[in-house]
Structure 1
Amino acid sequence: MALVVTAVVLPLVVVLLVLTRVLGGDDATDGPAGDAVADVDGAPVPGRADLPPLPVQVPPVTPEADAACPALMAELPLELAGEQSRPVQSDSPFAYAWGEPPVVLVCGVERPAALEPTSPLIQISGVNWLVDTTDPERIMWTAVDRPVYLQVTVSADTDSAPVTALGPVINDTLPLQPIDTGD
């Protein structure tokens, strides 16, 4: 009997935890879904940094992103490389951020123009990344071996800890696929 109760209750608890994490709890703000930083009583939402919403530029959501990104977004950690998640303002539900200076993840970005057959890629935690260091203030890591391109932007003085920490989540939610180098 206890086994049956556990088999029924445990999945319900997991679903509730995931929904709470994705939806951010009760929303007392007027911002887009997921931007809540306070509950109905004005208390901070647990696990979120007390930082203002971060504006994030995103490309239009594609059918591919709609199909692939929700699984990833549902599994993103509230803490990444020692930084708490923070609210974002974007035209896509597939943007997420942590800390200050921010680490920003956008799922479903456009194919990087710099991705060619000879592009140097860095594999970290089973994910192949194209690294763009042309901007002196930030580094853009783009995962190029998944059904959608995933971009993580960090300040120029940040090491690979955020992409290293995201590797297992990416591997668990976005299937590996051959890299399209445009050849």
Structure 2
Amino acid sequence: MATAVAVPVVVVLLVLIRLFGPGSGDDGSGDGPVADVSGATPSQRDDSPVEVETPEITPEADAACPALMSQLPLEVVGETSRRVDSDSPYVYAWGDPASVLVCGADAPAGFVVGGPQLIEINGVQWFVDTTDPTVNVFTGVDRTVPVQISVPSSTDAALVTALSPTIAATIPFTEPQPAG
């Protein structure tokens, strides 16, 4: 019985010595991989806050936006989340320069049902405003509250594409209404 327990323990020890003991480095010097065990955790999250002005929070936003906010990823299309300085809890940001999502945004000016600035991405109909040369603003116009994603014009719309299924699943559909 003791032999049955001792053999696996010896095998594990030999494997560990082989992996981490003398002579385990690639160059045969005995200087194998060294791990940082200082307790510091490297962080890829940018801690500088993104300042975002938002419209007043409506009862519709209070009803719809928490479901979306609870499903947003910490990382999307290789961009990590950013802290946000805003009066609204319904704002999220990723990357540097930041892409910013606002749930409960204002309806986009110039929106016309069936207009040329509309595109559908993964179940969400987006009104795309490209008038600012530094940012492209996508506003979901077929949800009970508008969801706006501002993406630096130096990047593509991959973030909008990646987030559209989550928006479609969490913010209820409504027929698009022109800006009033």
What TM bracket, shorter-length normalisation? 0.7 to 0.9
Summarize the alignment of residues 82-121 of structure 1 with structure 2, pairs less than 5 Å apart.
82-120=78-116, 121=118
* Kept in 2: contact 1:127–1:145 (CA 8 A): yes
User: Which TM-score applies when normalising by structure 2?
Assistant: 0.73
- Equivalent position of 2:158 in the other structure: 161
SS in 2 for 1:142: strand
Rg larger in structure: 2
Superposed CA offset, 1:64-87 (max 9, x none):
100000000000011111100010
Taking the aligned partners of 1:168 and 1:131, their CA distance within structure 2 comes to 18
User: Which TM-score applies when normalising by structure 1?
Assistant: 0.72
* Runs of 5+ unmatched residues, structure 2: 1-38
Identity value in percent? 52
Taking the aligned partners of 1:82 and 1:128, their CA distance within structure 2 comes to 24
Aligned partner (choices 123, 140, 145) of residue 143 of structure 1: 140
Residue 47 (structure 1) shift: 7.6
Q: Does 1:49 align with 2:54?
A: no
RMSD: 2.1
* Runs of 5+ unmatched residues, structure 1: 1-42
Taking the aligned partners of 1:130 and 1:44, their CA distance within structure 2 comes to 44
Taking the aligned partners of 1:66 and 1:89, their CA distance within structure 2 comes to 19
* Kept in 2: contact 1:143–1:150 (CA 8 A): yes
Aligned partner (choices 163, 170, 183) of residue 167 of structure 2: 170
Summarize the alignment of residues 51-66 of structure 1 with structure 2, pairs less than 5 Å apart.
51-66=47-62
